Amino acid sequence: MFEHLKMAGTLAGLMKNKDALREAGERIKSRLAEARASGSAGGGAVHATASGEMKIVSIRIEPALASGMTDPANHALAEQLIAEAVNNALERAKDMAQSIAIKEADALGLPGLGGLAGLIGN
């Protein structure tokens, strides 16, 4: 109960200092734009990189896999591996984004905001 009161007091203090909140928001946006998370599938046959903004910034397919994509079975496998690598990279990017937001909340005096995870998609 006291934790909730303490949190309410901290939030009230932050509302008085909107500049600090705005700056924190800008820092988070900047860090998310710069953050990169990589994922892979097929033992490294496909690599995907996502930004902290949950956007795919690159996909790399190993030449051995790419050369076999004319065969329909290999083509289907490549599509599956690309999807797996992208999902892996996005999951890692989401975890990274949560960590960035939680660190910023801690810096603002709002430690233990487990609810932030829900806001970011977990």
CATH number of the domain within which 8 lies: 3.30.1310.10
pLDDT tens sequence for the chain (122 residues): 566 666 666 666 666 777 877 888 899 999 999 999 999 999 999 999 999 999 999 999 999 888 888 888 888 999 999 999 999 999 999 999 999 989 888 887 776 654 444 444 44
CA 17 to CA 106: how far, in whole Å? 16
CA 46 to CA 98: how far, in whole Å? 25
Long-range contacts of 79-82 (CB under 8 A, 24+ apart): 80/41, 81/41, 81/42, 81/45, 81/46, 82/41, 82/46, 82/48
CA 33 to CA 97: how far, in whole Å? 10
Reported pTM: 0.75
User: In degrees rounded to 5, what are phi and psi of residue 53?
Assistant: -90, 10
Q: State the total domains in the chain.
A: 1
Range of the domain at 50: 2-120
pLDDT on residue 61: 94
